[in-house]
Structure 1
Amino acid sequence: MSVVPAGVGTATEEGPAPGTGAARPGRPRRRPRPASRPVGGRTASVLLWVYAAFALVPLLLMVSSSFRTNGDLIADPLGAPWPLSLDSYREAWTAGSFATYFGNSLAVTLGAVALSTSVATMASYALARGRSRVFRWLESLFLSGLMLPIHLAILPIFYLFDGVGLIDSRLGLALMYGASGVPFSVFVLTTFFRQLPVELEEAAVLDGASTWQTFWRIMVPLVRPAVATVAVFRFVPIWNDFLFPLVLLRSQDKYTLPVGLTSFFGENATNFSAVFAGLVITTIPLIVLFLVATKQIVAGLTAGMAK
């Protein structure tokens, strides 16, 4: 045990030890980091939750009313859906031909989204890697399609389809939707392809990969969140569109869900529970799509924002 000689001081919290000179300054104490708060503060968070609650009320009323009989719905519009009744869904699915409308909407929407996404992905990769002025001109040509709303061209489209025999054709409707979605998809995907380093392609070429293999196996998986975002943003307006199916389709067995729902509502104006069931059938695919693709949408919208 060592003994400190008398007269020799030690460094204390009050000051340096006598005879030892100035003491080294101590390290500054780190201040505790403040707890993370939501953007905009608690008030904004509360307002958003209140808005979400009000936005969900009509949806919940629609779903609950679809599980009630028409008599109960007329007697007590805001009553609880008990006991649950599926009669309105059976009537809408069979008598209302919603099974046919649903299949038509699914075929047209999926076909249009697949066509526009595949064409835009290949075109965006070429435009992002092209260094010639021709590619810049082509990119400007694609982006010019964003300045003209597609619904303003309904008369030229009608006369064009009438001339080539695509009136009352689900294939023609899908082709029109697919072509109208290419400018937006090219605008989004070109930006994502340009963010990818060129060294990845150079490494693939050194490994003996062809241009198509480089594009399909390396570049496309890297922009998968953007592709999913583009597909979702094209799916929703096509699924909900009413004007083009109304103008370009003539046969009732080829109607999509929005047009079929309008026809069903005209025939069952007093059968409220069946109408609510038809609305739920029309809305379910959109809800499922957003629940499944939420992570991909967020990743696609926020890619490149964080360093």
Structure 2
Amino acid sequence: MSGTTRRGGAVRRAGVHVVLWGYAAVALLPLLVMVWNSFRTDQELVSEPLGLPVAPSFDAYREAWVEASFSTYFLNSVLVTTASVLLSTAVSLLAAYALARSRSRLMTVIEQVFVSGLMMPVFLMIVPIFYLLDMIGLASTRTGLILVYAAVSIPFSVFVLATFLRQLPDELEDAARIDGAGPLRTFWSVLLPLVRPAVATVVVFRFVPIWNDFFYPLILVRDRERYTLPVGLTTFFGEYQTSWSTLFAGLVIATLPLVVLFLVATRQIVAGLTAGMGR
């Protein structure tokens, strides 16, 4: 029976691996087509849409980056996304630490207020947000976008980080307190290194939707020089719809930072998502 059970387990594992590898191949195929088509000419794409590049060329990337102002859209997205994620993560870490370690009823109410932000549809907030930014002079600015993205990211980040911090034993802080460390020192030197997987999870799960967001920049930004990638891509498609190689090059540039981010943070993301499952 044990041999049969082992063989059955091996067959199931092999089946799972086949399904996962098959899914990975199906998911990666469009990305590979996009990448190799970006190195082909328009004539090659028209004559053989799914062919491989005969003589790879970087002309499409140069045209997308320089002539189509793609460098401006890309740098705007990098600035807005990075600043939003850093600001929201820093605020959320401090708030989550206070909420996770407090036992007062007031803090429980405050945490519920934070969590309630997860249930608020972003489309319902756009009109008051627009008028607020216009009133304080931040409409159609990168600073306004950063503040909006940071604000809408805080509820999710606080929820994840507070849940993770509650799993850390209080004895760690007691030991640091005996050694003379204050609350901020304890948080920075003792707890922060332990919550690094949760921080990586929050960063990635907020970076991706902000990077891909089309709605807020479309409504709040009126100056083309401050467009982010998703909005810039709409004008890009309109102007270069007959230059398919340039379109593919632009899509590769827009996708590359997300691929790099996932490759760098995969281990921390898995550790953050599976924390506490063995308890």
TM-score range, shorter chain: over 0.9
Tell me the equivalent position of 2:170: 198
- The residue identity in structure 2 corresponding to 1:199 is E
Pick 1 or 2: higher relative contact order, CA cutoff 8 A, min separation 6. 2
Tell me the equivalent position of 1:131: 103
| Aligned residues of 1:120 and 1:189 also touching (Cα < 8 A) | yes
State which of 267, 276, 279 in structure 2 corresponds to 1:304. Answer: 276
* Aligned-residue RMSD, C-alpha: 1.8
Aligned pair in 2 of structure 1 residues 138, 40: CA closer, same or farther (>3 Å)?
Answer: farther
1:78 partnered with 2:50 = yes
Q: How many positions carry a matched residue from both structures?
A: 278
For structure 2, list consecutive stretches of 5 or more residues without a partner in the other structure: none
Q: How far did 1:48 drift?
A: 2.2
Tell me the equivalent position of 1:288: 260
Whichever structure has more helix as a proportion of its residues is: 2
For structure 1, list consecutive stretches of 5 or more residues without a partner in the other structure: 1-29
Using the size of structure 1 for normalisation, the TM-score is 0.87
Tell me the equivalent position of 2:205: 233
Q: How far did 1:71 drift?
A: 1.4
Further displaced range: 205-214 or 46-55:
46-55
Q: How far did 1:192 drift?
A: 0.8
Aligned pair in 2 of structure 1 residues 116, 35: CA closer, same or farther (>3 Å)?
Answer: farther
1:256 partnered with 2:228 = yes
State which of 85, 91, 94 in structure 2 corresponds to 1:113. Answer: 85
Tell me the equivalent position of 2:125: 153
Tell me the equivalent position of 1:6: none
State which of 59, 62, 65 in structure 1 corresponds to 2:34. Answer: 62
Q: How far did 1:194 drift?
A: 0.6
Q: How far did 1:32 drift?
A: 11
Whole-angstrom distance in 2 between the partners of 1:228 and 1:102: 23
Tell me the equivalent position of 1:275: 247
1:165 partnered with 2:137 = yes
Whole-angstrom distance in 1 between the partners of 2:131 and 2:112: 27
| Aligned residues of 1:38 and 1:45 also touching (Cα < 8 A) | no
Within a 5 Å distance, the mapping from 1:206-217 to structure 2 comes to 206-217=178-189
Per the alignment, in what secondary structure is the counterpart of residue 305 of structure 1? coil
Larger C-alpha radius of gyration, 1 or 2? Answer: 1
| Aligned residues of 1:66 and 1:273 also touching (Cα < 8 A) | yes
Using the size of structure 2 for normalisation, the TM-score is 0.95
Per the alignment, in what secondary structure is the counterpart of residue 177 of structure 2? helix
1:140 partnered with 2:112 = yes
Q: How far did 1:152 drift?
A: 2.7
Aligned pair in 2 of structure 1 residues 32, 69: CA closer, same or farther (>3 Å)?
Answer: closer
Per the alignment, in what secondary structure is the counterpart of residue 234 of structure 2? helix
